[in-house]
């Protein structure tokens, strides 16, 4: 038990440490942590993709960027969310954003995308979170959502009320024994009526929004979005406006 608690503490410390890197780029923690993670030259047995992963990771969060990769004018890499955070944090402090590695100024105009890194990262292997088989990153989404045998899926008779959920691998076996197809016409109609009621509720919300947007007298107000952070999710940046009345409701 004590050991488990220790592990938990370790995890918490790591999390807050990486948060510090993200929000206080002046700290020297970022580069030194990167060295710890990427200092793999002493271990020649490590595979090429792992060594590449260490080189192509984001300088701030040390993860492999899932989409766009930005670089400072000296070539240091940042994933899109970290890049946006650096710019937003600098704006909060009324300063210019700087690269966490070399301190050179970064902005939307001075930083550029690095397509070669983006493409290389998309070819690196990643483990499926359901079946743990390894795939190139660019195809993992399709595999996890459409073809993985271990992904959670529903029964093909869900539209007539079957609530079964389970691994795709056993969905066929369930459907072969599913009781839904044996329902009487009356029971199927009841199930369809429930489904239609849900669809009608959703439609009502959309119709309300469309009605609001179709008002003839529309006035425009400028709203200022103020960035703020909470103690609970220090690494997340939120934006808020002052409360304002509209369509009989108060918004913010
Ligand atoms: Zn990052
Ligand atoms: Zn740099
Ligand atoms: Zn899988
Ligand atoms: Zn079923």
Ligand 3 centre distance from Cα of residue 146 (Å): 9
> Which residue segments constitute the domains of the chain, with CATH numbers given?
2-125 (3.30.40.10), 149-213 (3.30.40)
Each residue's pLDDT tens digit, 104-123: 999 999 999 999 999 999 99
Q: Which ligand is nearest to the CA of 57?
A: 1
Each residue's pLDDT tens digit, 149-206: 999 999 999 989 899 999 999 999 999 999 999 989 999 999 999 999 999 999 999 9
In the block, tokens 């909060």 appear at 92
Ligand 2 centre distance from Cα of residue 22 (Å): 15
Residue 145 has what DSSP assignment? I
Specify which residues 245 forms β-bridges with.
250
* The overall pTM is greater than 0.75: no
Residue that wins the pLDDT comparison between 244 and 86: 86
State the Rg of the chain over Cα.
25
Q: Which ligand is nearest to the CA of 129?
A: 3
pLDDT at 250: 83
Residue 249 has what DSSP assignment? E
Ligand 4 centre distance from Cα of residue 190 (Å): 16
| Residue 44 confidence class, pLDDT cut points 50, 70, 90 | low
Ligand 1 centre distance from Cα of residue 98 (Å): 14
């Amino acid at each position: 038990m004590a050991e488990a608690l220790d592990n938990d503490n370790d995890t918490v410390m790591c999390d807050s440490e990486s948060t510090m890197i993200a929000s206080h780029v002046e700290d020297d923690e970022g580069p030194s942590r990167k060295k710890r993670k990427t200092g793999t030259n002493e271990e020649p047995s490590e595979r090429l993709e792992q060594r590449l992963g260490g080189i192509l990771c984001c300088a701030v969060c040390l993860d492999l960027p899932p989409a766009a990769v930005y670089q400072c004018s000296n070539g240091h890499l940042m994933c899109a969310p970290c890049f946006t955070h650096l710019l937003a944090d600098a704006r909060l402090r009324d300063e210019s954003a700087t690269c966490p590695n070399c301190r050179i100024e970064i902005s939307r105009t001075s930083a550029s995308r690095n397509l070669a890194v983006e493409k290389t990262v998309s070819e690196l292997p990643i483990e499926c979170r359901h079946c743990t088989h390894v795939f190139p990153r660019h195809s993992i989404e399709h595999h996890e959502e459409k073809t993985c045998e271990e992904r959670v899926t529903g029964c093909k008779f869900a539209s007539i009320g079957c609530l079964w959920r389970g691994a795709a691998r056993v969905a066929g076996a369930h459907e072969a024994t599913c009781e839904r197809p044996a329902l009487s016409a009356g029971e199927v109609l009841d199930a369809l009526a429930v489904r239609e009621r849900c669809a009608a509720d959703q439609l009502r919300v959309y119709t309300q929004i469309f009605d609001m947007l179709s008002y003839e007298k529309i006035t425009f107000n400028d709203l200022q979005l103020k960035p703020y952070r909470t103690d609970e999710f220090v690494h997340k940046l939120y934006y808020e406006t002052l409360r304002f009345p509209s369509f009989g409701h108060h918004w913010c």
